[in-house]
Amino acid sequence: VMNKTVLGKQVTRIERKEGEVEVTCADGSTYLANHVIVTVSLGVLKKHAADMFHPALPADKTAAIETLGFGCVAKVFILFPNRWWPQDINVIEPLFSNKEVQDFISNSNHGSWTSKTYGYYPVLNHDRMLCAWFSGPGCRTVESLTDEQVTDGLMELLDKLVGKMYNISQPEGILRSDWGTYPYTLGAYNYRTVASDSRNLSNSDLAESILDENNKPVILFAGEATHPHYFSTVHGAIETGRREAHNIINYMKNKQH
C-alpha cells in the first residue's frame, strides 16, 4: 500500500470515463481508477465541487453540498513557563453579561474577537499548557492575526478573568489551528441546517455513491459530513472510510458470482 500512496497531490478534476474514473492533479499528472473514494471536507466540496466533477454531480448531492452547514472551530495552545493555575481547575470560562461584554469590547484593543473565547482548558499530559477554544466567525479572525496579536489578546482576557486571583506568567509561545482558512479544509465540522432540513436533505444524500450505467460505484464519498449519525466527529469520519471500502469489496465479491 505504501508504495502506491502518493502525497502532496492537489486533485483538481475527477472525470468519469466509460466505467473508469480519471483523476487529474494540479501538476498535470493523471491517474486512472476503477473506483475513487472522495474524502475531502464539505468546505472543500462547497468551493470546488462545481468545477471538480465531470459530468456534474446529481442534483440532490449538489443541493446537499450547498445546504448542509460547515462550521469552524479554532484552538490556540498557550505554553507557560510554569503552571500557575490550581490542579483542580477544569476550565477558565468567561461569564459576562451583555453589558459587560460591550464594555470589555469598548475598552480593549482585542475585545471584538477575544470576547468570543469559549474558555481556557488545561491540556491533558501538558502540565504548563492551556487551550483556548473559539467557534464561528471568531475562528477566522484568530487565524488572520499575528502570533503576537493573538497572545496579547488572550493574555488580556485571561488577566481580566483571573488576574486578581493568580500570578499569571507570560507565555513562552502559542500554537494554533488554521482549519477555517487552510485551503484543504476550509472549516472544521458539518452540521444540519434549516435549509437542508426544509428540503429533506441529509448527510445520507452526501454519502450516495455515483454509479455508472452498470450500477458500478465509480465515485464514492466518505468523511465526517457523510455519516448519518456521527457527523462532526473523528470516529464518524473513520467509520465512513471503512464503509466505502467495504462497499467496493462487496461490489467486487458480487461481481465474481
Q: In which domain, by residue range, is 41 found?
A: 11-70+190-255
Does any domain span residue 25?
yes
Does any domain span residue 29?
yes
37 residue type, one letter: I
d(CA 220, CA 251): 12
Strand extents, DSSP E, the chain: 11-17, 20-25, 30-33, 36-38, 53-54, 69-71, 73-79, 119-123, 126-135, 173-176, 189-191, 210-211, 217-221
Pick from 141, 176, 211: which residue ends a domain?
176
Q: Residue 202 maps to which CATH number?
A: 3.50.50.60
Q: Do residues 79 and 52 both lie within one domain? A: no
Q: Do residues 172 and 77 both lie within one domain? A: yes
Does any domain span residue 125?
yes
Q: Residue 169 maps to which CATH number?
A: 3.90.660.10
Number of domains in the chain: 2
pLDDT of residue 109: 86
Pick from 150, 176, 202: which residue ends a domain?
176
Pick from 176, 210, 230: which residue ends a domain?
176
Residue whose grid cell is 502518493: 6
C-alpha angle 249/253/257, rounded to 5°? 165
C-alpha angle 224/227/230, rounded to 5°? 80
For each successive 10 residues of the chain (257 residues), what is the average pLDDT?
89 94 98 97 98 97 98 96 96 92 90 91 96 90 95 96 96 96 95 97 97 95 98 97 97 85
Does any domain span residue 31?
yes
pLDDT of residue 4: 84
pLDDT of residue 49: 98
Q: Do residues 83 and 160 both lie within one domain? A: yes
Q: Do residues 40 and 64 both lie within one domain? A: yes
Does any domain span residue 15?
yes
Contacts 24+ apart (CB under 8 A), 167-170: 167/84, 168/84, 169/80, 169/81, 169/82, 169/84, 170/80, 170/81
Does any domain span residue 97?
yes
**Which residues lie closer than 8 Å to 61 by C-beta, 6 or more apart?**
205, 206, 208
Does any domain span residue 183?
no
Q: What is the DSSP letter of 169?
A: P
Contact 136, 72 (CB under 8 A): yes
Q: Do residues 80 and 65 both lie within one domain? A: no
pLDDT of residue 253: 93
Q: In whole angstroms, what separates CA 17 from the centre of its chain?
A: 31
Q: Is the N-terminal amide bond of 137 cis, ω within 30° of 0?
A: no
Q: Do residues 78 and 118 both lie within one domain? A: yes
pLDDT of residue 233: 96
Q: Do residues 112 and 206 both lie within one domain? A: no
Q: Do residues 48 and 59 both lie within one domain? A: yes
Does any domain span residue 94?
yes
Q: Do residues 24 and 117 both lie within one domain? A: no
Q: Do residues 77 and 157 both lie within one domain? A: yes
Q: Do residues 62 and 96 both lie within one domain? A: no
d(CA 90, CA 86): 9
Contact 78, 129 (CB under 8 A): yes
Q: Do residues 63 and 36 both lie within one domain? A: yes
